[in-house]
Chain A
Amino acid sequence: MKKAAFFLLILISIVFTMYAQTAEAAITASPSSITIARGSQSTRSITHNIIDSTGCTLAASTSGQFISGSNTLGTVNTPVSASLDINTAIGSAAESLTIPVSVVKKAEQLRVNSFQFQRQFTITGDDCITHTDSSTVQIRVTTEAAAEFKITRLQLYFENKKAETTVMRHQPLKAYADISFAGSGLLQGYWEADGRIISNVKTHLIYGKSVTIETPEIPSLPTFQTGTHRLRFVITSPSGVTLPDAIYFVTAEEFRQKFIINLLSPNDKAEIDYSPHAFTFTWKGENQAVAYLVEFLEKGGEKPIFSAYTKNSEYKFPLSVFKSVFSSGGSYFWRVKGFDAENNETAESNTYSFTIKEQVPPLPSDIK
Chain B
Amino acid sequence: MKKIFAPFFIIIVSHFFSGYAQSDVIGQNLIQLLEPQEGVEVIAKKPVIKCSITHPFSRENLLVILDGDDITGVLDIRSEGFEYKPIRVLSSGMHSLRIVLYMPDGKEVQKDFVFSTRHSKTFEDAYSNNELTTIYTSVLEKPEDVTTTPYSKIESNFKSETRLKNGHWEFTLTTNLRYIDQSLPLNQPERKGLDLINYLLQGKYSKDGLGILTEIGDVQINETENTVMGLAKRGGNVSFQYKDLTLRTFLVKSQSVFGYRGGVRGSTGIEGSLDDHIMGVSGETFFLSRKVNLKTIYVTGGETGDSFGTWTDASGRKGSVAGFVLGTDFFNQKLATEAEVDFSRFDADTTDDFSADNDKAYKLKIGRTSGNYVYEALYKYIGPDYQVLGNQGLQKNTEGFTLSGGMNLDIHSVNLSLSRYSDNVEDDELYPKVYAYQGAINYTFKKFQSAPISLSYQKSIIDSSKEPSTITPIETETDTITGGINYIKDRWNFGIQTAYSSQNDRTSAGNDSTSNTYTFITSYVMDDFSISPGFTFNRLRYPQQGTRTDTYTTNLDIRGKAMEDNLSYGLAGTYNRTKAGDGSSEQDTINTNLEVAYSLGKKLFDFLNPSAGIRGTYNKTNNKVSGGENDELILLLVLSTSMPFSF
Q: Which residues of A contact B (CB under 8 A)?
A: 35, 38-43, 100-102, 105, 108, 111-114, 140-146, 150-157, 160-164, 166, 170, 178, 180, 184-186, 188, 194-200, 202-204, 206-210, 217-220, 222, 224-228, 230, 241-247, 249, 251-254, 269, 288, 291, 293, 306-312, 315, 318, 320-321, 339, 343, 367
Contact = CB atoms under 8 A, between A and B. Distances in A.
B436 interface: yes
B398 interface: yes
A115 to B, nearest CB: 10
Contacts of A188: 540
Given A143-B432, A153-B310, 7 more contacts: A35-B472, A101-B315, A102-B352, A162-B256, A166-B198, A228-B180, A249-B157
16 contacts: A108-B430, A111-B430, A140-B471, A144-B395, A146-B423, A153-B313, A154-B311, A162-B218, A166-B176, A180-B393, A202-B538, A207-B434, A222-B557, A247-B258, A252-B611, A367-B4
Given A204-B503, A204-B513, A251 B157 contact: yes
A194 B155 contact: no
A134 to B, nearest CB: 21
Contacts of A306: 68-70
Most buried by B among A146, A152, A180: A146
**Ordered nearest first, which 5 A-B pairs have the shortest CB separation?**
A163-B309, A224-B570, A310-B73, A102-B352, A252-B642
Contact of B574 (A41, A198, A244, A308): A198
Interface stretch (B10-18, B237-245, B284-292, B588-596): B588-596
Contacts of B502: 204
B306 interface: yes
A153 B309 CA distance: 11
B138 interface: no
B206 interface: no
Contacts of A253: 131, 133, 642, 644
Interface stretch (B22-30, B320-328, B334-342, B460-468): B460-468
A39 B384 contact: yes
Given A39-B348, A114-B470, A145 B557 contact: no
B304 interface: no
B182 to A, nearest CB: 10
Given A196-B591, A199-B536, A247-B190, A311 B609 contact: no
B311 A251 contact: no
A343 B395 CA distance: 49
B555 A312 contact: no
A218 B521 contact: yes
B642 A251 contact: yes
B296 interface: no
A308 B572 CA distance: 42
A135 to B, nearest CB: 20
Most buried by B among A111, A198, A204, A230: A204
A146 B432 contact: yes
B329 interface: no
Interface in B425-443: 430-434, 436, 438
B232 interface: yes
B559 interface: yes
A71 to B, nearest CB: 15
Given A145-B434, A153-B393, A252-B135, A163 B256 contact: yes
Contact of A312 (B73, B392, B615): B73
A219 B63 contact: no
A318 B311 contact: no
B436 A206 contact: yes
B444 interface: no
Contacts of A318: 63, 70, 100
Given A113-B471, A157-B309, A194-B593, A227 B354 contact: no
Given A197-B576, A244-B308, A208 B436 contact: yes
A278 B14 CA distance: 30
B459 to A, nearest CB: 10
A305 B396 CA distance: 47
Nearest to A229: B593
Nearest to A321: B70
A195 B619 contact: yes
Interface of B: 4, 63, 65, 68-74, 87-88, 100, 108, 131, 133-135, 137, 155, 157, 159, 176, 178, 180, 187, 189-190, 197-198, 218, 220, 230, 232, 256, 258, 306, 308-315, 348-349, 351-354, 384-385, 392-398, 410, 419, 421, 423-424, 430-434, 436, 438, 460, 462, 464, 468, 470-472, 474, 476, 478, 480, 493, 495, 499, 501-503, 513, 515, 517, 521, 523, 527, 532, 534, 536, 538, 540, 551, 553, 555, 557, 559, 570, 572, 574, 576, 589, 591-593, 595, 609, 611, 615, 619, 638, 640-642, 644
A206 B438 contact: yes
A227 B137 contact: yes
Contacts of B503: 184-186, 204
Contact of A252 (B392, B438, B474, B641): B641
B574 A196 contact: yes
A310 B591 contact: no
B514 to A, nearest CB: 9
Given A218-B532, A219-B555, A208 B591 contact: no
B175 to A, nearest CB: 10
Contact of A100 (B349, B421, B615): B349
Contacts of A288: 527
A163 B393 contact: no
Most buried by B among A204, A252, A312: A252
B408 to A, nearest CB: 11
B310 A146 contact: no
Contacts of B638: 226
B551 A102 contact: no
Contacts of A244: 306, 308-311
A156 B609 CA distance: 33
B314 A40 contact: yes
A150 B312 CA distance: 11
Contacts of A108: 430
A228 B592 CA distance: 17
A183 B432 CA distance: 13
Given A105-B354, A199-B536, A202-B517, A249 B176 contact: yes
Contact of A113 (B131, B385, B431): B431
A251 B570 contact: no
Nearest to B218: A162
Nearest to A185: B503
A225 B133 CA distance: 12
A279 to B, nearest CB: 13
A269 B372 CA distance: 13
A208 B71 contact: no
Contact of A101 (B348, B434, B570): B348
